[in-house]
Amino acid sequence: EVQLLESGGGLVQPGGSLRLSCAASGFTFSTYAMSWARQAPGKGLEWVSVISNSAYTRLYADSVMGRFTISRDNSKNTVYLEMNGLRAEDTAVYYCARGGQSTGRFDPWGQGTLVTVSS
Amino acid sequence: DIQLTQSPSFLSASEGDRVTITCRASQGISGSLAWYQQKPGKAPKLLIYAASTLQSGVPSRFSGGGSGTEFTLTISSLQPEDFAIYYCQQLNSYPLTFGQGTRLEIK
């Protein structure tokens, strides 16, 4: 079964940092692009970042450019999202998902991890 | 950036009804559109990709159509488990974008 499991969310103060992880299983991780998306409380979905299968290409939404860094470790079947300079507006459930433009879809999605930025 | 506008934003319908949700793109995206269903407290679930390809395991009462700038998601006969929020997503170019969502509720 294809599965994605996020971890690393929590409460952080404005300006703080957090590192999210997404562990993949059930498929050949190294052959897929991986994405992060988020959903603020009661709001819609927002794409955050994508990393190609080889990590050669990394793209970001304007809202997180320069503050967030996506990376992956194909030996550990894990994708990461390093978040620095966190703001209240970054408060959201963060989802990792398999795919991007190259696959034409996000499937599956992880269960999500909640990041709360508050003093 | 490509903007996606879903209509309606809210839809009230009864079990057994046929409903259609529309997603309009601010510029042409060929057939690079996906549809997702999200239930409260859960992650989105892929229903349709490439505008009209039904994801494996998704009931055949769901169908997608369109190309260019106008797309539709149709549910042929609503079942109780279909009441949820539906999102379209364009994967034609980065940044990837989502529609604002359509909340489908029981009448």
- Scanning every residue of chain A, which has its alpha carbon at the shortest distance from the alpha carbon of B92? A101
Asked if pLDDT for residue B107 goes beyond 90, the answer is no
Give the mean model confidence (pLDDT) for residues A82-109.
97
Amino acid at A29: F
- Share above pLDDT 90 across residues of chain A, in percent, rounded to a whole number: 100
Beta bridge partners of A11: A116
**Which of A44, A107, A110 is opposite residue B55, by nearest beta carbon?**
A107
Rounded CA gap, B100 and B98, in Å? Answer: 6
Concatenated DSSP letters of A3-48:
EEEEE--EEE-TT--EEEEEEEESS-GGGS-EEEEEE-TTS-EEEE
**Encoded amino acid at A89, one letter:** E
CA atoms within 13 A on the CB side of A94: 31
Taking CB atoms and an 8 Å cutoff, what residues of chain A touch B92? 101
Q: Mean pLDDT of all residues in chain B?
A: 97
pLDDT (tens digit per residue) in B51-100: 999 999 999 999 999 999 999 999 999 999 999 999 999 999 999 999 99
